[in-house]
Amino acid sequence: MSIREATPYDADALAAVHAACFERPWSAAEIDRMMLEGFGLVSEGRDAFLLGRVSAGEAEILTVAVDPACRRQGHGRRLVDAAIEVARDQGAEMIFLEVAADNAPAIGIYHAAGFQLVGKRPGYYHRAEGSRADALVMKRSLSA
């Protein structure tokens, strides 16, 4: 699977993947705006994507989503590795992300990519059914 930079023409396809992955879907317009303000990476079949941004020497992964039919094929891991390279190329020294404490698949890919737990935000995520979940803050250094 190859990964390329996402363009505005991908926004509808990425919104469909996002809607299949999260209970609060982002619109194509929101995804387009995030790509403009940061960067987007997409798999060649447009069944997996990642959005991130770099500011003042720090990068952030905003989301990573893989269509449920295409999981456990390495797409998520490859996207995170590609985001690390983009962040480095754009001069970031650290990359951060937030992930729900009960999201074992995502925590798995972030650990595998070298991220470490640096904080916790209790009750940060509000679930549609009314419950709350803690957010874990994870960080990876980008220096050699």
Residues that bind ligand COA (CB under 6 A): 21, 63-66, 71-77, 99, 103-106, 108-109, 112
CB 14 within 8 A of CB 50: no
CA distance 42 to 98: 20
Residue 110 tokens read as 């972030």
Question: Nearest distance from residue 136's CB to ligand COA, in Å?
Answer: 9
Q: In whole angstroms, how close is the CB of 84 to ligand COA at the nearest point?
A: 14
Instruction: Please tell me whether residue 63 adopts helix, strand or coil conformation.
Output: strand
Q: Which of residues 71 and 88 has its CB atom nearest to ligand COA in the complex? A: 71
Total residues found in the chain within this entry? 144
Nearer to ligand COA, 11 or 76 (CB): 76
Task: Kindly state the smallest distance separating residue 97's Cβ from ligand COA, in Å.
Answer: 6
Question: Could you count the other beta carbons within 10 Å of the beta carbon of residue 19?
Answer: 14
Residue number, 57 or 105, with CB nearest to ligand COA: 105
